[in-house]
Amino acid sequence: MSPATFVPNAIILCYSILLDFMRVACAPFLRAVGRSSGWDLEMRQKLPSPVRDFRGKRVVWLHAASLGEAKLLIKFHAMLRQRHDEDLYLVTATTRGGVAYLEKNRQSAFCAIGFQPIDTISLVTRIVDHYCVRRLWLIETEIWPSMLRVCVRRRIPVGIVNGRIEPGSFRWYRKLKWIVTPLLKQVDLVLAQSDEYAARFIELGVGKDAIHVVGNIKGHIRIERPQKKEWLAVRRGLNIDDEAFVVTAGCMHSGEGAVLRAFFSGMERRGYPCRLIVVPRYVAEAVPLIDEIGGNVVRLDEARTSRRWEICVIEKTGILDDMYKAADAAIVGGTFMDIGGHNVWDAACFAIPVFFGPYHHTQRESCVLLQQAGVGFSAADGGELADRMYEVVKECPMRFLEDQGRFIEATNRTRSIVEPLLP
C-alpha cells in the first residue's frame, strides 16, 4: 500500500476507533444527551428495522440526509425500480424527519428502514454484512469516511445522486483532499446537478468518465394538479371554502414572519385576500413565526380544524405535500433571509405558481429554470411578493396557464434522462 493510500486509511481507522470507543465508554452520558437533543444515538447503533424478507435478494442501500433528500430518495427509488424490479432496498436517513418520511412513504421494495449508523467501520460493516448490500447510492453529498471505506474495501460500487458541493463544503473538502480523494476515486457514478458541481467533484478525485451532468433530479418529476378528491379532502379538513384563494408558505424560518404579514396585508389592500397556510421548517420555529406575523393567527398541531381562520401556522412534520396540494400558489421559505432556500420542486410539482425571495442560492438553478419557464417568481420583500402574486394570479392568469402548459410538457418529457445512465 502506497503512503498516499496508507495515511488516509490509517486516519479513517483511528477516527472510527475513536467513535467506537466514545459510543461504548460514554454510553450512559451519550444516551441521555441523545434523548434530550434528538440525536437518537441508540437507534444509530442498531440495524435498520427490517420490513420484509430480503434473503436471496440483491439489496441496494439508499442513503439520504434530511427530509428534502428523503423525498428525492423516494423519487430516485422509482427510477431504479424501472430498471431493476427484482432488487430490494435498505433505506436510511440522518435526521428524524427523513426517517419518518421514509417510514410514512414505505415502498413495497423496501426491505429495511432506519437511521444512518454512527460512522464507524464496525457498525457500517455489520449493516453491509447483515443485509448483503451490493450497491450504495448517496443522495446529494453524504460523504461519510467509514461508510465509503467499508464499501471500497468490499468492492461495493458507490454512486452519488443529484450531486452537489456548495462553496463552503468545497473549501473544507479541499483542505482534507488527501483524505477525501482516495475515497471519491472509487465512486463509479456521479449524477451532478451542474457543470460547476461536476468540476468540484473532479477536483476532489472523481474520474471524469464517472460524472454526468443531468441537472437537478428534483426537477425530473411529473408535474400535475392533484386529483379533485385529494384537493377537496385537504381543504375541507382545514375548513377552507372551495372558492377561497389559498397560499401555502412552506419551510418558513423564524425571521421571515414579517414578510408573510406584509404579503398578506398587501393582498388585502388589493382586494384579493387569501387564506395563508404557514408550515415552519422546524416545529420549534412556529411560536417565533406566529409572533412575527402578528394579528389573529390560528395555531394548529394537526392539518385539521373546525375553526374559522385567515392565517394558520401548522406545527406538524410530514404535511407539506398535502398543504401544497390544497394551494393555488406557494411561497418557499428560507429565501427571505440568508439561508439559501428549500426545495422549490415540492411545490412546483403540483402545477401552481411558485414564489421565493432573493436568497435562493442553494436552489439557484431550479429557481432560474422556473423563472425562465414563467412558472416561478422572485420578490425582494413582502410588498413586492404581493405585487407579483396579484399580477400572476389575478391580472395575467392566462399567461401563467399557457406557460405552465408548455413547462409541464417539456419537464415531463425529460424524466427519462437519468434512467439510461443507471447501471
Give the pLDDT confidence of 64-97 residue by residue, as tens digits. Answer: 988 889 988 988 998 898 788 899 999 999 988 8
- The whole-number pLDDT of residue 322 equals 93
Contact 357, 336 (CB under 8 A): yes
Contact 48, 90 (CB under 8 A): yes
- The whole-number pLDDT of residue 35 equals 58
The per-residue pLDDT of the chain, averaged, comes to 89
CATH 3.30.930.10 for domain 228-412, yes or no, is no
Question: Distance between CA 134 and CA 97 in Å, rounded?
Answer: 26
Among left, alpha and beta (phi > 0; psi -120 to 50; other), residue 369 is: alpha
For 154-159, which contacts have Cβ atoms below 8 Å and span 24 or more sequence positions? 154/128, 156/128, 157/188, 157/189, 157/423, 158/186, 158/187, 158/188, 159/135, 159/187, 159/188, 159/189, 159/190, 159/191, 159/423
Residues 6+ apart with CB under 8 A from 62: 73, 76, 77, 89, 90, 91, 92, 137, 139
pLDDT above 80 for 220: no
Cα 332 vs. chain centroid, distance in angstroms? 13
Residue with cell 454512527: 118
Whether the model pTM is above 0.85: no
Lowest mean pLDDT among 10-19, 54-63, 184-193: 10-19
| Rounded alpha-carbon distances, angstroms, from residue 299 to 13, 14, 305 | 49, 49, 10
pLDDT above 90 for 127: yes
Summarize the confidence of residues 183-211 as an average pLDDT: 92
Lowest mean pLDDT among 70-74, 177-181, 192-196, 402-406: 177-181
pLDDT band for position 25 (cuts 50, 70, 90)? confident
Percent of the chain residues topping a pLDDT of 90:
60
Burial (CB count within 10 angstroms: exposed 0-12, middle 13-18, buried 19+), residue 371: middle
- The whole-number pLDDT of residue 59 equals 96
pLDDT above 60 for 406: yes
Summarize the confidence of residues 118-145 as an average pLDDT: 92
- The whole-number pLDDT of residue 411 equals 75
More confident: 179 or 376:
376
Among 175, 178, 144, 172, residue whose Cα is nearest residue 158: 144
- The whole-number pLDDT of residue 364 equals 86
pLDDT above 70 for 342: yes
pLDDT band for position 37 (cuts 50, 70, 90)? low
Q: What is the pLDDT of residues 133-167, one digit of tens each?
A: 999 999 987 788 899 999 989 999 999 999 998 88
pLDDT above 60 for 1: no
Summarize the confidence of residues 298-317 as an average pLDDT: 94
Question: Distance between CA 87 and CA 419 in Å, rounded?
Answer: 16
Contact 250, 331 (CB under 8 A): yes
pLDDT above 90 for 333: yes
pLDDT above 70 for 30: no
Summarize the confidence of residues 276-289 as an average pLDDT: 95
Summarize the confidence of residues 283-292 as an average pLDDT: 95
Residue spans in the chain of domains classed CATH 3.40.50.2000: 228-412
Name 276's bridge partners: 247, 311
Residue spans in the chain of domains classed CATH 3.40.50.11720: 52-215
> The CATH number of 52-215 is which of 3.30.300.20, 3.40.50.1820, 3.40.50.2000, 3.40.50.11720?
3.40.50.11720
